[in-house]
A and B are shown apart, each in its own frame.
Chain A
Amino acid sequence: MENELGKWMSQFVRVRLIQCNSIDLNLFHFDYDLTFAAFFMNADKTLYGRYGTRSSHDEAESDVSIEGFAKAMQKALDLHRDYPRNRVSLKPKTAPYSQFDIPQDYPHLEGRFQPWLDFEGKVAASCIHCHMVRDADRRYHRNQGSALTDKDIYPWPMPAVLGMHLDPKEMATVSLIDKDSAADQAGLKPGDQILTMEGQPILSIADVQWVLHQSPEPSSVALSIQRGEDQLECSLRLRVGWRRGSDISWRTTSWDLRRMATGGLKLRHLTREELEQQGLSPGKMALLVEHVGQYNDHAVAKRAGFLKDDIVTAFDGKEDLLRETDLFAYVMRERPKGSIIDVSILRKGQRQTLRFKLQ
C-alpha cells in the first residue's frame, strides 16, 4: 500500500507548508485544530479537495488511513485530468474564512509575527500555528462584543453528528447509519458512496465536513450517491441547532475557550458511578475540575478560589450544561466579556458559590 501511495503521490508537485504566517486564509481554509491537513489543487489555486480529519484527542489516527488518502489522491488526479471542464463544480470548494486575508491581520496576531519563520533565531516561537488562526478569530469576535454562531463554536462538524458514520479507508462511504437520525431520514444506507454534495465532488471525509461546515441552518444538502450499480439523489435536512451534538472539548482551540468561559478550568463530566457516589442526578450538571490554570489569563478561576476536584453543579444559574462543550457554547453565545458569573460547586460534600468575571 505504501508503494501505491508513493505512485500516486509522485504525480503531484508536492509542497510541505509548515507555518500559517501569511497564508491566504481564503484559499487554505481548513480545520485549524488538525495536526496534518492536505490540499489537492490546480496551479491556478482551484481546489480539487482536502484530506485530514480528526474527531478526538486520544484517537487522532482513527479518522484517517493510507487507503483513504490514496483514493483521495486518485480522485484528485481524475479531477485534474478533467479540468477545466469541471471548474464550476469545484468553485464552491473555497470560500472566505473571515474579513481578514492573512492571519497577521487579526488584531491579536498583528505586529507579533513576521511573514516568514526566523530560522536564525527562535524559529518555533516565530511560527503562527494552525490553531492560532481559530483562536484569533474567536478572540476578535468576542472582543467586538459579538456572540459566536454555532458555526464558529462547532467548526468542521463530523458527519456522525447527523447519524452518518463514514469509513476512513474509503473516500466517503457510509459504514453505519444511526436509527432515526437525519441521515436515516434522508434514506442513506451503509455501503452508500457519497459522490457529490451540493454538486461538489467528494474526495474525503474532510470534503464532507467542508460542505457541512459551510451549510446554513436550517437548510438541506443535496447528495448524489452510488449504491451498488445505481446512482441516486437524496437530501440531508439540517435543522436549527444540528451542530450542537458535536464535542469540541478535544480541540486545541478549546484551551483558549477555557480562558474565556471558565477562567482557566478544565472540566469533564462525572461518570455514572461518580454521580452515584456524590448523590447527584444524571440529568443535571456535574462537571469535575480536572485542572485549574495557574498563570496569567488562565488563572482567573484560581484567583476566584476554584480547586482541583471541585464539582461544578450550576453555572450562571444554569444546571443543564452537561458537558464542558455545552458550557463553552453557552458563554460564547449568550454571555459577553466582562459578565460576572456565579458558579455553584460541591467541595468535599459541601456546597459553595464562587464568582468570577468572564474574559
Chain B
Amino acid sequence: MQPARLLILAVILCCLGHSTLNSLAQTRDEKVRQDRSTVQADGQWIYNDLDLALAEAKRDNKPILATFRCIP
C-alpha cells in the first residue's frame, strides 16, 4: 500500500472509528449517526466539540489536533 494511502487510512480510521468499512448499505444519514456512535464509544477522539477539546488541552497543558473531515 502506498504511504499516502496509509495516511488516509490511518487518519480516517482514527477519525471515523472504522465506521465506514461496514456501512456501505446505509443511507448517508444513517452513516453519520453510526459514525458518531462509533467514535464516541471508542473514546479516542472528542467528537465535534471544540470547546471540550480546548478545556481538556488547557487542563492537561497539551496541544490540540483538530481535524476537519467531511461527514461520511
Contact = CB atoms under 8 A, between A and B. Distances in A.
Interface in B16-64: 28-29, 32-33, 36, 39, 44-50, 52-58, 60-64
A312 to B, nearest CB: 32
Contacts of A168: 4
B29 A122 contact: yes
Interface stretch (A59-67, A146-154, A325-333, A349-357): A59-67
Given A45-B54, A61-B8, A69-B11, A13 B60 contact: yes
B52 to A, nearest CB: 7
A11 B66 contact: no
Contacts, number: 159
A16 B48 contact: yes
Given A16-B39, A16-B48, A17-B48, A1 B6 contact: yes
Nearest to B59: A43
B32 A16 contact: no
Contacts of A180: none
Contacts of B69: 16-18, 35-36
A129 B52 contact: no
Given A123-B33, A124-B28, A37 B57 contact: no
A48 B44 CA distance: 22
Interface string A79-117: 010000000000000000000000000000000000001
B46 A66 contact: no
Q: Interface size class for chain B?
A: 35 or more
Contacts of A117: 32, 48, 71
A2 B63 contact: no
A38 B65 contact: yes
Contact of A127 (B12, B55, B71): B71
Contacts of A122: 29
B33 A119 contact: yes
Contacts of A64: 4, 7-8
Contacts of B44: 14
A17 B14 contact: no
A42 B14 contact: no
At the interface, is chain B mostly helix, strand, loop or mixed?
helix
A95 B44 CA distance: 31
Given A15-B49, A16-B69, A34-B68, A80 B63 contact: yes
A222 interface: no
Nearest to A17: B68
Interface residues of A, number: 52
Contacts of B2: 61
Contacts of B33: 119, 123
B57 A16 contact: no
Contacts of A37: 67-68
A315 interface: no
A65 B7 contact: yes
B65 A15 contact: yes
Contact of A123 (B10, B29, B61): B29
Given A28-B66, A62-B4, A119-B32, 13 more contacts: A13-B53, A13-B62, A18-B32, A18-B68, A28-B68, A34-B68, A35-B70, A38-B65, A42-B57, A63-B4, A64-B7, A65-B7, A168-B4
23 contacts: A1-B6, A2-B10, A12-B62, A12-B65, A13-B62, A14-B45, A15-B45, A15-B49, A16-B45, A16-B48, A18-B69, A36-B12, A36-B67, A38-B65, A38-B68, A39-B64, A42-B64, A45-B54, A61-B5, A64-B7, A66-B3, A123-B32, A129-B70
Interface of B: 2-8, 10-12, 14-15, 28-29, 32-33, 36, 39, 44-50, 52-58, 60-71
Interface of A: 1-2, 5, 9, 11-20, 28, 30, 34-45, 48, 61-69, 73, 76-77, 80, 117, 119, 122-124, 127, 129-130, 168-169
